[in-house]
Amino acid sequence: MKRRFLALRIVSIIFKILGVLNVIAMIGVIGYTLLNADAFPTMQTKLPVIGGAVAGLLVGTVILFAISQYLDLMMALELNTRMSNAYLQRMGKVMKERL
């Protein structure tokens, strides 16, 4: 069968790219926080920022990849349903010819 759902495939790829960019950005935020002594002079000022970045890293990345995988799952379900319907129609034609 021909490939369908080009727009959904593009959206799924965009969500995956955003997930990777989220990981890179949060690692950058953590690195910036740890290395910048002017903006964050003590460890007590660094910990909330690092905690927020780690939470954003985990939650944001998981959500973005979950949305992407959900779209892939829905496309696969639709394609499998179409293929099953086509097979059943072919089977019905064969059975009709035999009877």
For 43-53, write each residue's pLDDT tens digit: 899 999 999 99
3-state secondary structure of 45: helix
Residue 12's CB is within 10 A of a number of other CB atoms, namely 20
pLDDT tens-digit profile of 23-67? 999 999 999 999 988 888 898 999 999 999 999 999 999 999 999
In the chain, the percentage of residues whose pLDDT exceeds 90 is 74
Q: CA triplet 40, 45, 49: central angle to 5 degrees?
A: 90
Q: What integer pLDDT is reported at residue 31 of this predicted model?
A: 92
Cα 69 to Cα 5, 18, 65, 81, 84, distances in angstroms? 14, 13, 6, 18, 22
In the chain, the percentage of residues whose pLDDT exceeds 70 is 98
Return the domain boundaries, the chain: 6-98
pTM: 0.81
